[in-house]
Structure 1
């Protein structure tokens, strides 16, 4: 069971997201009907450690295994999701990930994955390219150039 629930005032969501970085590029994704890009990851299950959730989500979405190097950020995010027009209060743990092998790189700089009927478009983007696209979280555009050695807490309020 995902740790996500709807209330009369909006939705609470507990999720994880992973930064896969290779040769100055970061892997981001976009769903076919969404106007924005985001990092691979997903919701944490009840009674699941966030690191286990991160590994599971990457395996489900990309069919690859990763190592977790370290947690980078804990983000408390308040926003209205654009396509659903739904208010969110989201807690997200961001992890720096490392590829166990380079097989995914053979897919190219852009590739599509069909995850149980849901189409995900993936892109390897140079860090500086993030400035010119609609990518969430917003802080990623600046923070990608200097990843923290210790966990940082970030709060975003977007309306």
Structure 2
């Protein structure tokens, strides 16, 4: 059971995301319905640790075994989600993820994976120098990605619309 629920005031979401960098490129993704990018990951299940959740999500989305390097950020995010048209209160754990050498060497700059029947996810290895040219959420990534913390950092973001 995903740790997400909806109330009259909006939706709560507990998710994990993977930061995967190779040759100064960041792996980002987008849902076919979304006008924006985000980092690979997904919701944490009830009774599942965040580290198990990110490894499961990487396996589901990329069909590859990742390895957790370290926790980078814990992000409390209050925002208005454009597709679902509702306010969100989201807690996300961002992990630096190591991917197998074979995957990194064979992965094209753009690829598409089927998540569920008739639902596709688009992935792009974007040069860090071009990150400011794409719409990516959460926005703190555009600056924070250049100085990955050695110890986890707590970040809070309040979208003006939420």
Q: Normalising by the residue count of structure 2, what TM-score does the alignment of the two structures yield?
A: 0.95
Q: Structure 1 residue 130: deviation in Å?
A: 1.0
- 1:50 is matched with which residue? 50
Q: 2:140 and 2:31 mapped to 1: Cα distance?
A: 20
- 1:144 is matched with which residue? 145
CA contact (8 A) 2:76 2:156 kept: yes
Q: Structure 1 residue 111: deviation in Å?
A: 0.4
- 2:112 is matched with which residue? 112
Q: 1:33 and 1:150 mapped to 2: Cα distance?
A: 35
| Range with greater deviation from structure 2 (104-113 or 8-17) | 104-113
- 1:41 is matched with which residue? 41
Q: Write 1 or 2 for the structure with the bigger share of strand.
A: 1
String of CA shifts for 1:5-60, please: whole Å, max 9, x gaps: 00110000000000011010010001111010000000000000100000000001
Q: Normalising by the residue count of structure 1, what TM-score does the alignment of the two structures yield?
A: 0.97
Q: Which runs of 5+ in 2 are unaligned?
A: none
String of CA shifts for 1:83-105, please: whole Å, max 9, x gaps: 11111000000000001332254
Q: 2:68 and 2:6 mapped to 1: Cα distance?
A: 30
Q: Structure 1 residue 63: deviation in Å?
A: 0.3
Q: How many residue pairs were aligned?
A: 159
